[in-house]
């Protein structure tokens, strides 16, 4: 690991100014789970690290029924999983965070850092996309808010400008009473020892009387960036969910993605796993008997 100067700004504005002054010679560190690995392997050699840990505005989370959940960029995955607010109002988000990576990453890694790294094979982006999350980007001179679909641009690439940092993540309310939405997040791992999913599916919808309304369905890990599957969402709208409907929705999802192919799995294998996961995700959200799942024929 090369020598570097460790800078600790006290505000977003100060951090933004440092990013502008230092340019490509610096890196921002939040939890550091990915960055430190890159430094140790000498894949990165910045002259300066800008730590965000001392910026109070980037910590904490809060909820209100009108605006929803505000998650500070430095909230760790373990905090998200353990939060009574998240468990009560967004159980699908808490469930995702409980399974994220491994205990070391959950206790050190931050949600903002995860999104900025934009690894296609991590859990939060897919789940947050189904929840309709918005990302707040801040600099010394301005603040802008964008949908997570616009924030994630490509492999390890986001819409962050050179002087910006992610300050918070906003998740809209799930609704109340008969209008409440529910969610399920599923993931496929090649082996029990692996902690990065090969395929992930998230579905959020209203489930009144077994009828699907307002579905938001996202696929992650098997594609370069998480994707909304709008044709499948439209197919589910207003339907009574049966295993046959869930299977057809899974087929539509599998048809509408362009999976990546690499040493972890071929495109065909990923497509098949996405199909199965999508079908099971729909079935689970609508309370179908999982022991009665039809045989997979694809």
Strand partners, 72: 168
Strands of the 143-147 sheet, one edge to the other: 61-64, 68-72, 165-171, 134-138, 143-147
Q: Please tell me the total number of residues recorded for the chain in this structure.
A: 298
Q: Is 30 exposed, middle or buried (0-12, 13-18, 19+ CB in 10 A)?
A: buried
pLDDT tens digit string along 152-184? 999 999 999 999 999 999 999 999 888 899 999
Rounded to an integer, the average pLDDT of 200-211 is: 96
pLDDT, position 291: 85
Task: Report the mean per-residue pLDDT for the chain.
Answer: 95
Beta strands in 8-57 (DSSP E): 26-29, 48-51
Rounded to an integer, the average pLDDT of 91-101 is: 97
Residue 204 CA, chain-centre distance (Å), reads 14
pLDDT above 90: residue 293: no
Q: What does the DSSP 8-state code read for residue 29?
A: E
> pTM higher than 0.85 for the full model?
yes
Contact 8, 51 (CB under 8 A): yes
Q: What are phi and psi of 123, to 5 degrees?
A: -85, -45
User: Would you tell me how many other CB atoms lie within 10 Å of the CB of residue 287?
Assistant: 11
Angle (CA) 46-52-58 rounded to 5° is 150
Residue corresponding to tokens 């808490």: 94
pLDDT, position 103: 95
Element (H, E) at 270: helix 267-285
């Amino acid at each position: 690991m090369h020598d570097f100067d460790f800078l600790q700004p006290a505000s977003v504005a100060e951090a933004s100014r440092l990013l502008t002054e230092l340019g490509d010679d610096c890196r921002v560190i939040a939890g550091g789970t990915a960055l430190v690995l890159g430094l140790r392997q000498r894949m990165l050699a910045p002259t300066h690290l800008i730590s965000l840990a001392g910026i109070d505005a980037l910590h904490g989370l809060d909820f209100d029924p009108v605006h929803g959940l505000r998650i500070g960029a430095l909230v760790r995955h373990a905090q998200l999983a353990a939060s009574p607010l998240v468990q009560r109002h967004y159980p699908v988000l808490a469930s995702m965070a409980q399974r994220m990576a491994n205990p070391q990453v959950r206790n050190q890694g931050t949600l903002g850092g995860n999104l900025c790294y934009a690894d296609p094979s991590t859990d939060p982006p897919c789940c947050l996309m189904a929840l309709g999350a918005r990302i707040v980007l801040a600099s010394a001179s301005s603040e802008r808010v964008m949908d997570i679909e616009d924030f994630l641009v490509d492999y390890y690439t986001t819409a962050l400008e050179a002087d910006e940092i992610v300050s918070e993540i906003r998740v809209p309310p799930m609704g109340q009473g008969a209008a409440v939405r529910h969610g399920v997040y599923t993931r496929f791992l090649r082996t029990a020892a692996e902690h990065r999913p090969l395929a992930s599916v998230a579905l959020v919808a209203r489930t009144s009387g077994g009828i699907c309304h307002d579905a938001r369905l996202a696929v992650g890990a098997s594609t370069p960036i998480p994707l909304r599957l709008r044709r499948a969402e439209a197919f589910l709208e207003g339907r009574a969910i049966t295993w046959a409907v869930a299977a057809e929705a899974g087929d539509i999802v599998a048809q509408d993605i362009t999976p990546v192919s690499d040493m972890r799995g071929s495109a065909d294998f990923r497509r098949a796993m996405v199909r199965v996961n999508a079908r099971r995700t729909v079935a689970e959200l609508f309370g179908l008997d999982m022991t009665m799942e039809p045989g997979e024929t694809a």
